[in-house]
Chain A
Amino acid sequence: MSLWMQRTALFLLTLAAPHLVPNDYWIGVLTRICLYTTLALGLNVVVGFAGLLDLGYVAFYGIGSYIYAFLASPHFALHLSFWVALPLTVAIAAVSGILLGAPTLRLRGDYLAIVTLGFGEIVYLLLINGDRPVNITNGVNGILGIDPPRLGSLTFSRNHEYYYLFLAFLLLALLISTRLAHSRIGWAWQAIREDEVAARVMGINTTKAKLQAFAVGASFAGIGGGLLASWQRSVFPDNFLFYESINILAMVILGGVGNLAGVVVGATLLVALPEIFRGFHRYRMLAYGLMLIVLMIFRPRGLFEGNRVGRREPETSTLEEETLSLVEPGPPVGQ
């Protein structure tokens, strides 16, 4: 089957998916898959493309959700349309990405991880305590009554409507990620990930490139946050616990860091598996954890070969092969 046919088949499958699952609950699971894949694609830009280990990604997700909630709920009596509020949310999330990224520019690896982890906790604490002295976040009670998205005469309310909305944004995130991976800035990120000093010597502005990675990652989280708020119709600080950062990071790692197809599969599995394991009742998380361990033993670089964004010298590979390496494992990495 040609790549084009594979893609078309896959796309038709995602369109038909809500009609193929047994009930509305599963349509909700599919919607969550779209949401988490979008988030994971954003984290993948930071961790996968640029090699910056960010353990506080949930902060941007939380900021996105709350900004959307502020802009489209009775809380501040602002009722902006979804199509105005979401772009604003994304812009603010991107700025927050730059603001939180800037102090970490000199840090690498473990140290960056520790600081970003701290950021995640700070944002969570701000959300919880943001009701005093001036009530901004409404503390632990969260923000309720968030407006649903509207499109023409349709007001989104049912899961399958949200599913298609989320799918559209997921495809947008996927498109942007693919373009970025093959762009000039994608090359710069990859060089920074491999060797920051050498990247600088090549004339890459590493400060700018790293901030761009944080900004793009945070904007994807902003999309995810806005979508969550508009779907859940309410947001609470507990939606943005440290656990979520790790969950999203696991999706990126499971599939293969930096590999877009891997990220999609990783996010799909990590949302779907706990649901599939529901039959195990209280052993559910045990089965899930066991599966993760087994996977990492047998595929330590992820389900799909990680850390390659699939570029070959043009004369030795056709364009089709080049894009194919996005969905197939890259060449083995010999040491």
Chain B
Amino acid sequence: MLKLSGVVTSYGSLPVLKGVSLEVKGGEIVCLLGGNASGKSTTMKTILGTVPPRKGTIEFDGQRIDGLPTAEIVRRGISLVPEGRRIFARMTVWENLVMGAFTRREAPADELTEDLERIYGLFPRLRERRDQLGGTLSGGEQQMLAIGRALMSRPRLLLMDEPSMGLAPALVDLVFDIIREINSRGMTILVVEQNASVALSMAHRGYVLKNGRIVMHDRASALLEAEGVRRAYLGEA
């Protein structure tokens, strides 16, 4: 479904991704692991086109999407739940969700209502709080809103950047349950995480990114066992 081949991305003259190749197949949850400054978020930004790649190609459903504007990439079916949630604090929950459908300008109103219902069904809390301003929600609710907002563009591939960041452990489990639930309904998901053990227990496959290069990739269960991953990310000597 998504295929990166030899992607190089730099900020000015500073290369951040130095030839990243990875693949996400339809229906999978793929997890991208890596420490600070390994290039995880940049990979997400490059896929979504907010930062253009210098070299390499990105294919989505067999078509090149590198170099396309973000709006077009979103329209083609990729959506991002950004790091730190980044919900619109002074807009209501409903407004946040509608904003997620920004690229669907020709969608009829009842189609949007249908999608809203679907998201309220997935997150009943959001329905209760739909007239509340986004900034007044708790961290967990904001994460639900950020996921709901991303789903409003009707993506086929959902990118998630550190969905567990800044959440209490109980909420982390909840968020990962939601990710599993969305995936079981057919959504393909590429998730970036620092919380390697939880992420790997949920994912089908995983890649490990280090200094802008993929240094390991395998089935998630195998990565959980792998010596290097255990040492680097699971806090074991």
Contact = CB atoms under 8 A, between A and B. Distances in A.
A194 B134 CA distance: 11
A200 B80 CA distance: 10
Contact of A197 (B71, B82, B105): B82
B87 to A, nearest CB: 7
Give the most central of A184, A191, A200, A307: most B CB within 10 Å.
A200
A154 interface: no
Contacts of B135: 333, 335
A207 to B, nearest CB: 10
A184 B86 CA distance: 20
Contact of A202 (B89, B92, B99, B105): B99
B131 interface: yes
Interface in B52-107: 69-71, 73-75, 80, 82, 86-92, 94-95, 98-100, 102-103, 105
A205 B48 contact: no
Contacts of B149: 202
Given A187-B99, A205-B69, A312-B131, A200 B88 contact: no
Contacts of A188: 102
A333 B133 contact: yes
Contacts of B69: 205
A200 B102 CA distance: 10
Contact of A195 (B86, B92, B94, B95): B86
A242 to B, nearest CB: 30
B50 interface: yes
Contact of A313 (B70, B90, B92): B92
Interface in B94-147: 94-95, 98-100, 102-103, 105, 130-131, 133, 135-136
Given A333-B133, A335-B136, A200 B99 contact: no
B131 A307 contact: no
A202 B131 CA distance: 21
A198 interface: yes
A233 interface: no
B136 A203 contact: no
Nearest to B135: A335
A191 B90 contact: no
Among A201, A311, A334: residue with most chain B CB under 10 A: A201
B153 interface: yes
Interface string A308-335: 1001110010000000000000010111
B50 A191 contact: no
A330 to B, nearest CB: 10
B100 A202 contact: yes
A44 interface: no
Nearest to B80: A201
A204 interface: yes
Nearest to A194: B88
Contact of B90 (A201, A205, A308): A308
B111 to A, nearest CB: 15
B26 to A, nearest CB: 22
Contacts of A202: 74, 99-100, 102-103, 149, 153
Nearest to A197: B86
Interface residues of A, number: 25
B131 A198 contact: no
A201 B70 contact: yes
Main secondary structure of the interface of A (DSSP, over half): loop
B112 to A, nearest CB: 11
Contacts of A230: none
Given A187-B99, A313-B131, A201 B86 contact: yes
A131 B95 CA distance: 52
Nearest to B152: A202
Contacts of A198: 82, 86-88
B211 to A, nearest CB: 24
A190 interface: yes
A226 to B, nearest CB: 34
A331 B136 CA distance: 12
B80 A195 contact: no
Nearest to B97: A313
B105 A184 contact: yes
A198 B89 CA distance: 11
Contacts of B103: 202-203
Interface of B: 48, 50, 69-71, 73-75, 80, 82, 86-92, 94-95, 98-100, 102-103, 105, 130-131, 133, 135-136, 149, 153
16 contacts: A194-B88, A194-B90, A195-B87, A201-B48, A201-B50, A201-B74, A201-B80, A201-B82, A202-B99, A202-B102, A203-B74, A205-B69, A313-B92, A331-B133, A334-B133, A334-B136
Given A195-B89, A197-B82, A205-B69, 15 more contacts: A184-B105, A187-B98, A187-B102, A194-B90, A197-B50, A197-B86, A200-B70, A201-B80, A202-B99, A202-B103, A203-B74, A331-B133, A333-B133, A335-B135, A335-B136
User: What 8 A-B pairs come out closest when comparing CB atoms?
Assistant: A203-B74, A198-B86, A203-B103, A203-B71, A194-B88, A313-B94, A202-B102, A334-B136
